Structure 1
Amino acid sequence: MLVRLIEYTLDDPQRPGKEERHRLLTTLLDAELDPARALVCLYHERWEEEITFDPNSRPIQRERPVLRSQTPPGSCKKSMP
């Protein structure tokens, strides 16, 4: 499969990962039709929407501990005194 690799750094001081080198891999090969800067911007906009609309997205999960049930799935056992 032929792909295009776009390497870039973020210059927005408010964004996590600023000044780190990032890579975006795409099958959109025509640089005139799909400029690298536009693809990078669209990629980051997409992830902002993913995080906003999906509370279980991976970046958010990494920041919180994983909660596990103490009972088997589907059971509602209550401890009796």
Structure 2
Amino acid sequence: MKVYILWHVHHVAVDEVGNVAHFENGEFSARENLGDDVKLLGVYSTPDRVERRISVARTLPGFRDEPDCFWSAEVEVDEDDWASGYVTE
């Protein structure tokens, strides 16, 4: 079974020249260690429900200030992520 997770990012992190970094190398950016505020909006059963939630959120304070900063991912329920562990530096 697949579900769709939806986040919103309020960007404050800046790149090397002082611009707010919404994307890095063509990928959506969220650098919490530099102040970006990531919010989980919900987990949905279909991409259509994700789009409906985004439409509503874009009318709300805060979210409407960054209307293009929603990010979603399709995930399989009961499927492990980070199965190989990790190392911190």
TM-score (norm 1): 0.25
More strand by percentage: 2
Structure having greater relative contact order (Cα 8 Å, sep ≥ 6) = 2
More helix by percentage: 1
Q: Which has the larger Rg?
A: 1
